[in-house]
Structure 1
Amino acid sequence: MPALPRPASGPGSRYTARAATSRPRPVRHTDVAALARILTPRDLWLAKMLHEHRVLTTHQIASLAYASLRSAQRRLRTLHHHGVLDSFRPLTQTGSAPEHYTLGPAGAAVLAAHAGCDVSDLGWRPSHTGRIAYSPSLGHDLGVNELLSHLAARARTAPGTGLDVWLSERSCARRWGDIVRPDAYAEWRDGDALLPFFLEYDTGSQPLSRVEAKLAGYAAFSTATNTRPALLLHTRTQSRDQALRRRLAAPARELGLNMATSSADFTTSSPWGPWWSPLQAGDTSRTTLTKLATRWLHLGPAAGLEPTDADTALTLPVPPLPPAPGATG
């Protein structure tokens, strides 16, 4: 069985085979209307997040939405029992992976009912969880979600900071796919400082030339839309980071890109910290996301985020954090 491409450490580092086990669930028909009496605004938010970002681990969900890991586990088990969520655990070299959650059949039906469409219009199929569990990109997708879930959850311990916007690769492709296809788009806020950025999450599987070729698209995006988000490049290891910096410094400067790099050797649990190095000649110092925002004063949010007539309830950005307790919608 072929192995997944994986980073040396961090999310996805221990996934060894394209196989997974699923938690059993009673086989029964779920009355979607009956779920209205048990689903909270936070549950509906989680279903939307899983539709947007495809897969989140127990720990990622707990950091975003729950007071403790135990309380998250209890609620997630309940939602799994009712078919709102599905789950699996990838095989690992040692130990066991955390539970990985995806959108379940009842969750897809609830979202479709909210949007006034059929489940098929969501792109959800009965094979949805299996396709994710066996996907060669699972480690990459989890790495992206790990990095951004840490940034989003920062707002829970440091009010005034966190992510205002977090779009998945799929949502980025829907909006800007004719020009750029980043792994994510997000907006980091710290007080009055705002850092809108595209994220390229590099696992080392692509040759340097292919990574370099992407830069022209980001320059073209700024020209075509007259907006200037930063470009953050997160790599697997510091050595890969250094190789990319040597390759990309000149073209990034020529294209006028505001670009910074970091690696999983630094950004383990606090990616907002002083781990990002601007891609400028002779500058190898590392700084925080907030200082990047104050350093690059002419940055601006990406164009194309405003709702249009083509948007539906399921294509609008999902708030990175759940609604406050007591919210009704």
Structure 2
Amino acid sequence: MPALPRPATGPGSRYTARAATTRTRPTRHTDIAALTRRLTPRDLWLIRMLHEHRVLTTHQFARLANTSPRSAQRRLRTLHQHTVLESFRPLTQTGSAPEHYTLGPAGAALLAAHADLDVSALGWRPTHTGRIAYSPSLGHDLGVNDLLTHLAAHTHTNPTTGLSLWLSEHSAARRWGDIIRPDAYAHYHDGDQLLPFFLEYDTGSQPLARVEAKLAGYAAFTTATSTRPALLIHTRTQSRDQALRHRLADTARNLDLNVATSSADFTTTSPWGPWWTPLQAGARRTTLTVLATHWPALSPASGLEPTDADTALTLPVPALPPVSKADS
């Protein structure tokens, strides 16, 4: 996806290197062999999640781990101390942003050792955190992760619901990049109902015509693979949502696509709720579960089965961490 304009303030504008100014760190990288008695299964899961999804805030990790932000921060700072994680905090116009965590040198070395690879094969570099912190797409990436961490964590309050699969933009591109490049792919389940969907997270920076042009790729994917996931388009404001619906309705109908839209004006903390409107005339907002029943012909995307080309680093990462007494 093309880079978004860098905002003047907030995520993606600047970052403060708090790790270098307010926290003591070892002068040399931690020996990863020494970490074997310190890292829990939840820590190892988090390392894989950061490799997959690039950046998570304290609140996003706490949400997935079903713990308080304070407890999450304590563990994250311990991992930061051992260079398993790096962190930064974007400057904001008012108040303060949560800590943002990325993969650190020891975490990258650990992942590489598990996969029997060199660290360079991961795509990790010493400038990894700086590139993410200054990236003009940081706000977009955080928005995608915030939406999907809320969906995944819904399991904690409603055990019959949640995400059974969550692939990042990078993983989706590796599988289907010759046809489509969604911002994420996921399976949302509620009891026996399954909603496989591609996500387009629209920030309003692209012309409506460019968003409309993406629908042809999703139609081509459906034809080429004989599979039919839904397409969810999430926007920042209701006015942008209405403009997209007006522009996309006829195209989606002509291409026979199952598309629903919503905006951050509604989905802030409960994106599974009645905030999604199918692109059909007279349709009303409804839940993800009802969308699954409304579109009975949906099916998961092809290319999800493990192959001989997969490694420990290309297999999907569970959306929620393992439960372990060591993590409590």
Q: What's the TM-score once normalised by structure 2's chain length?
A: 0.95
In the alignment, is residue 249 of structure 1 matched against residue 245 of structure 2? no
Residue in 2 that maps onto 1:322: 321
Determine the C-alpha separation between the residues in 2 that align with 1:205 and 1:20.
26
Change (3 A) 1:29 1:16: closer
Alignment of 1:57-68 (within 5 A): 57-68=57-68
Does 1:305 find its partner at 2:307? no
- Any idea what the Cα deviations from partners look like across 1:180-239, whole Å, max 9, x if unmatched? 000000000000000000000000000000000000000110111111000000001000
Q: SS of the counterpart of 2:289?
A: helix
Alignment partners' CA distance in 2, 1:27 and 1:327:
28
CA distance, structure 1, for counterparts of residue 29 and residue 167 of structure 2: 33
Partner of 1:235: 235
1:51 aligns with 2:47: no
1:9 corresponds in structure 2 to none
Separation (CA, whole Å) in 2 of partners of 1:247 and 1:29:
52
SS in structure 2 opposite 1:151? helix
1:8-157 alignment runs, 5 A limit: 14-15=10-11, 17-24=13-20, 25-157=25-157
Query: 2:320 and 2:234 mapped to 1: Cα distance?
Result: 23
Offset, 1:282: 2.7
Q: Which of 4, 7, 20 lines up with 2:6 in the alignment?
A: 4
Letter in 1 for 2:290: K
CA–CA distance in 1 between the matches of 2:115 and 2:228? Answer: 32
Question: Cα distance 1:272–1:54, how it changes in 2: closer, same or farther (>3 A)?
Answer: same
Distance in 2 (alpha carbons) for counterparts of 1:16 and 1:208: 23
Using the alignment, how far apart are the partners of 1:308 and 1:198 within structure 2? 22
Determine the structure 2 residue equivalent to 1:188. Answer: 188
Shift of 1:3: 6.9
How far off is 1:67 after superposition?
A: 2.1
Per-residue deviation, residues 12-70 of structure 1 (Å, max 9, x unmatched):
x8437234333233322311001000001100000000000000000000000142212
SS class of match (2:49): helix
- Counterpart check, 1:290 vs 2:289: yes
Determine what percentage of the aligned residue pairs are the same residue: 77
CA distance in 1, matches of 2:160, 2:86: 33
CA distance in structure 2 between the aligned counterparts of 1:16 and 1:210, rounded to whole angstroms: 23
Distance 2:12 2:134 in 1: 11
The one-letter amino acid of 2:314's match is T
Runs of 4+ in structure 1 off by over 6 angstroms are: none
Query: Which structure 2 residue ranges, 5 or more long, are not aligned?
Result: none
**Cα-Cα RMSD:** 1.7
Point out where structure 1 has 5 or more consecutive residues left out of the alignment.
7-12
Letter aligned with residue 11 of structure 2: Y
Pick closer, same or farther for the CA change 1:322–1:252 going to 2, 3 Å.
same
Per-residue Cα deviation, 1:87-119 (whole angstroms, up to 9, x for no partner)? 000111111110000000000011111111111
Q: Secondary structure at the match of 2:286?
A: coil
